[in-house]
Structure 1
Amino acid sequence: MVEKKSKSRMHLLTEGVAIVPAGLGNLVADTGALAQLMPPEWVREWRDSEP
């Protein structure tokens, strides 16, 4: 429903765009919350190891 409405009102901006389920499923909100609280040293470690 959202995709249909956005395409009908903003065709030039939404051409070729698809709304799909998040790859993280139900963990999207949890992952976003964790990212807000993650200490900077964890971020540096993660970037260095590139999991």
Structure 2
Amino acid sequence: MAKNNYNYEKRQKELAKKKKKEEKRLKKLEKTSEESPSEDPLLADDQNTSI
């Protein structure tokens, strides 16, 4: 009987989890940008304080 490659399975599971998390993050970012089309106040402050 063939031996299972647990490291491969674990890596695939981690990659799937990471991909799902990234998709969720992008979806959340897209949702927040739709709600407030104005610029982020923190970014505006950084632009104003540059010398």
Instruction: Assess same fold via TM > 0.5.
Output: no
TM range, normalised to the smaller chain?
0.3 to 0.5
TM-score by length of 1: 0.33
Structure whose residues are more often helix by fraction = 2
TM-score by length of 2: 0.33
Higher Cα radius of gyration: 2
Q: Which has the higher contact order (CA 8 A, sep 6+)?
A: 1
